[in-house]
């Protein structure tokens, strides 16, 4: 069983394990488990061997070890990895030249001593919430291989959930970290918009793209987030803030004011999602329901901005290579490129107004709680979802609770809960469902401290799926 | 949708146009939410560009 990143670092520091032996174990786990899940699109074991050897050499020389020394990790395949073509889930990118350098966040992970073992599957060009990728295959949910892992960072969440790596990186434009974290039962952090540099990653929607980590514990999530932070002047979208470390401050401040998001967030949460919120709120001592009045408008604004910017980004290639694009999203991309400019401007104006109104709300609350997904992970191929009696298109609706928050750039930590434990009548099939812990801009520390409180209380937490502890299902691929 | 496709330089068959039209109709229905949203005349957009 994979240890946490903190356990691995402890073992390597103590000499109980070498980085090379950790890598050997990790490689064996990936080779045993990934064929059933399809998280990885490329392995980088040669590079990993070099990085692990460098850590072991540091230790042999008695030199200080970096904070993530010898910890294996993998990244969504929209991150540049030197020597590898950046696929961003697209066949249309497969002929591109290999990246000449690592993305800044990959370089920061390397500086922190982490060991890169591969690139991970995703929805094509991050336009999806399920990681049903027609070119590179569907990533399956480790807790039930008949179900989706969520997306678009599905490989990133599932690889951590299956215990193949303790850490991974992904991106979140409309919920692409929070939705798969919810479905796969891992912790995920979407930092404040602009906190982390996005250079060296394949873009989707410049107005909304965020990058962030996944982990199996909050301590690990905080450690990797600390390693990723810092200004990056070459990236104009980066806010250039100094590192604000959170690892040493994972205690929730006394007297914290917590609101439970109602209205839109209640309407679009099924009984299991509502139960998850209730469990988290109860554990954190929160009882006050509040409404983010512009939630529906913010979701609509995110939808329009995404369609327009995503469509514009791909328009030239859609004209010449339409058939090479993902059948599940190419018509949406083209339709997005037809959106009138006046709608986009209106969407950006709505975004600004909802942001200002939310700041007023955050004058009265330090933390807001909402479900991350309206339902537990649906079955692969699901076209329609039933949420509280409303039938909606599945792939477009899985981000209905995440889009309003990323639209206005607030930091969110998603914590995995298991609402079926508390109420068997919910019929969750033992599946997880994440809760969004939402803070004011730049207050990732509050989000992570709340997640840590839930984890320590035993309300939220990682569980190794039965599927990786039992023999593969017949016919699973 | 046909006019906008032509304006952008796309060439699609009828099946593809029908699929794109369906997608655009979904976008249109979502857009109505923000087009009806009350904003003051001078309210500014959230700019991406930060000099």
Tokens 């905080």 map to which residue? A222
**Statement: residue B20 has pLDDT above 60:** yes
Say what the pLDDT of residue B49 is.
60
Q: Give the ipTM of the model, two decimals please.
A: 0.96
What residue of B is the nearest CA neighbor of A407?
A: B46
Q: Is B43 on the interface with A (CB under 8 A)?
A: yes
Alpha-carbon gap, residue A324 to B35, rounded angstroms: 34
Beta carbons of A347 and B34 less than 8 Å apart: yes
Instruction: Name the phi and psi angles at A279, rounded to 5.
Output: -65, -45
Tell me how far apart the 2 most distant CA atoms of chain B are, in Å.
Answer: 45
Regions of chain A where pLDDT drops below 50:
1, 471-477
Which 3 state secondary structure label does DSSP give A371? strand
Rounded Cα–Cα distance for residues A104 and A201 (Å): 9
Question: d(Cα A242, Cα B38) in Å, to the nearest integer?
Answer: 38
B-chain residues near A352 (CB < 8 A): 43-46
- Nearest residue in chain A measured CA to CA from B48: A207
Task: Please report the beta strands in A278-422, taking only residues with DSSP state E, as ranges in sequence order.
Answer: 288-290, 367-371, 384-387, 390-393, 412-417
Is residue A141 reached through a cis peptide bond, with omega within 30 degrees of 0 on the bond before it? no
Report the alpha-carbon distance of residue A261 to residue A245 in Å, rounded. Answer: 28
Task: Identify whether the C-beta of residue A244 lies closer than 8 Å to the C-beta of residue A252.
Answer: no
Contact residues on chain A for B26, CB-CB shorter than 8 A: 335, 393, 396
Q: Cα(first)–Cα(last) distance of chain B, in Å?
A: 36
Strand partners, A215: A167, A187
Residue in the structure block whose two tokens are 């090479």: A324
Which residues, including other chains, have CB under 8 Å from residue A237's CB and lie 6 or more apart? A194, A197, A198, A206, A209, B48, B50
Q: Is A190 a catalytic residue?
A: no
Is A76 known to be catalytic? yes
Using one digit for the tens of pLDDT, what is the confidence trace for A226-266? Answer: 999 999 999 989 999 999 999 999 999 999 999 999 999 99
Q: Are A349 and B35 in contact (CB < 8 Å)? A: no
Q: Which of A4, A17, A18, A152 is an active site residue?
A: A152
Q: Which of B10, B34, B42 to mutate to test the interface with A (most CBs of A within 10 A)?
A: B34
CA distance linking residue A323 with residue A332, whole number of Å: 14
Helix, strand and coil content of chain A, in percent to the nearest 5, comes to 40, 15, 45
In which band, very low, low, confident or very high, does the pLDDT at B50 lie, cut at 50, 70 and 90?
Answer: low
Report the pLDDT value the prediction gives residue A467, as an integer from 0 to 100: 74
With b for 16 or more beta-carbon neighbours within 10 A and e for fewer, the A382-403 pattern comes to beebebeeeeeebbbbbbbbbb
Q: Which two tokens stand for residue A24?
A: 């050997």
Q: What is the pLDDT of residue A422?
A: 85
Question: 10 Å Cβ neighbour count for A321?
Answer: 14
Contact check, Cβ <8 Å, B31/A301: no
Residue B2's pLDDT band (boundaries 50, 70, 90)? very high
| Residue A176 designated active-site | yes
What's the CA gap between A401 and B12, in Å, rounded? 34
Mark yes or no for CB contact B20/A303 under 8 Å. no
Assess B31–A contact: CB distance below 8 Å, yes or no.
yes
Angle at A212 between CA A118 and CA A101, to 5 degrees: 50
Which phi and psi angles does A88 have, rounded to 5°?
A: 50, 35
The answer to whether B29 contacts chain A (CB < 8 Å) is: no
């Amino acid at each position: 069983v994979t240890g946490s990143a903190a356990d691995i670092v402890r073992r390597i520091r103590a000499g109980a394990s070498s980085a090379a032996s950790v890598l050997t174990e990790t490689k064996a786990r990936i080779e045993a488990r990934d064929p059933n899940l399809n998280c990885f699109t490329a392995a980088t074991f040669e590079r990993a061997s070099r990085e692990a050897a460098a850590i072991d050499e540091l230790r042999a020389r008695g030199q200080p070890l970096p904070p993530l020394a010898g910890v294996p990790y993998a990244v969504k395949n929209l991150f540049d990895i030197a020597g590898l073509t950046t696929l961003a889930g697209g066949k249309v990118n497969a002929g591109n030249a290999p990246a000449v350098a690592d993305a800044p966040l990959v370089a920061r992970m390397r500086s922190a001593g982490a060991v890169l073992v591969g690139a991970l599957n995703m929805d094509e060009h991050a336009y999806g919430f399920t990681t049903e990728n027609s070119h590179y295959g569907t990533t399956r949910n480790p807790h039930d291989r008949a179900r989706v892992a969520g997306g678009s960072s599905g490989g990133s969440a599932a690889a951590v959930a299956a215990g193949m790596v303790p850490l991974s990186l992904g991106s979140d434009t409309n919920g692409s970290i929070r939705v798969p974290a919810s479905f796969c039962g891992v912790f995920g952090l979407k930092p404040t918009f602009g906190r982390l540099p996005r250079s060296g990653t394949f873009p989707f929607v410049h107005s909304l793209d965020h990058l962030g980590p996944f982990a199996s514990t909050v301590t690990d999530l905080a450690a990797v987030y600390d390693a990723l932070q810092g200004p990056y002047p070459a990236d104009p979208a980066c806010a250039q803030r100094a590192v604000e470390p959170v690892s040493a401050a994972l205690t929730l401040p006394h007297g914290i004011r917590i609101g439970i998001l109602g209205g839109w967030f209640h309407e679009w949460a099924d009984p299991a999602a509502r139960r998850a919120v209730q469990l988290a709120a109860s554990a954190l001592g929160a009882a006050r329901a509040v409404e983010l009045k512009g939630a529906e408008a913010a979701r609509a604004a995110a939808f329009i901005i995404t369609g327009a910017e995503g469509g514009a980004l791909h328009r030239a290639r859609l004209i010449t290579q339409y058939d090479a694009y993902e059948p599940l999203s190419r018509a949406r991309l083209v339709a997005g490129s037809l959106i009138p400019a006046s709608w986009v401007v209106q969407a950006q104006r709505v975004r600004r107004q909802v942001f200002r109104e939310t700041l007023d709300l955050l004058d009265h609350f330090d933390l807001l709680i909402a479900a991350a997904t309206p339902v537990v992970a649906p079955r692969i191929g699901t076209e329609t979802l039933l949420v509280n009696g409303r039938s909606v298109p599945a792939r477009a609706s899985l981000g209905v609770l995440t889009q309003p928050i990323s639209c206005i750039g607030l930091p969110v930590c998603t914590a995995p809960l298991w609402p079926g434990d508390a109420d068997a009548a919910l019929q969750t099939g033992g599946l997880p469902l994440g809760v969004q812990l939402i803070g004011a801009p730049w207050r990732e520390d509050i989000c992570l401290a709340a997640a840590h409180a839930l984890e320590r209380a035993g309300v939220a937490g990682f569980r190794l799926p039965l599927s990786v502890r039992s023999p593969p299902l017949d016919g699973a691929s | 949708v046909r006019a906008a496709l032509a304006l952008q330089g796309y060439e699609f068959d009828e099946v593809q146009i029908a699929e794109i039209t369906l997608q655009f109709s979904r976008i249109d229905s979502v857009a109505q939410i923000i087009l009806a949203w009350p904003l003051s005349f001078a309210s500014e957009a959230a700019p991406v560009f930060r000099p």
